[in-house]
Copies of this chain bind each other. A is one copy, B any other.
Amino acid sequence: MPEGSTTGSVSRAGRPNDVRPPLDPVDRAILAELERDARIPNNALAERVGIAPSTCLTRVRALRERGVIRGFHADVDPAATGRPLQAMVSVRLQAAARRRMREFEEFVTSLPEVRDCFFLAGVDDYLLHVATADSAALRDFVVALNGREQIANTQTSLIFDHVRPRRGY
């Protein structure tokens, strides 16, 4: 890979080891399409964004390798798998327990009820997005959380609805 003279004319003389070229409009179109439907065939994706299939494949692979695309996931309806009740549980740790936050994170992410764990800067330390079978299961979950001496208090809000906007890039 020749680094010497050829790149000099265009390169923004900043980081010689820059492996993160900016996303061009085609990359952004690819991201928008794959976020909408991660299983669109490469042919169809290429046509939608206006490039050849092989080029499209190369770009998608590059986006994965650069970490722009972190993965592809199925969106499974929690209600269909026996967890129709969702809630947000904010958690405040005991001041002394903040030295063992890793331990807490490993604990909560091992619980089957927890869908997401956000580590926050604010009055609360964590926000947990949980899904349970019913209100009794949710109560059991919260009671179990509060039973750990690391935890100062929790506050639970039921989720009536969850909208995930279509994102454009």
| Chain A residues engaging chain B, CB cutoff 8 angstroms | 20, 23, 28, 31, 34-39, 66-77, 80-81, 88, 105, 109-112, 114-124, 127, 155-165, 167-169
Complex Cα gap A165–B130 (Å): 11
Query: Contacts of A67 on B, CB cut-off 8 Å?
Result: 77, 80
Nearest Cβ in chain B — how far from A159, in angstroms? 5
Flag if A77 contacts B81 (CB, 8 Å).
no
Counted per complex, copies of this chain come to 2
Interface centre among A23, A120, A123, A165 (most CB of B within 10 A): A165
A109 to B161, CA, bound (A): 13
4 A-B pairs closest in CB distance: A122-B157, A34-B74, A38-B72, A119-B161
By the criterion CB–CB under 8 Å, are A118 and B161 in contact?
yes
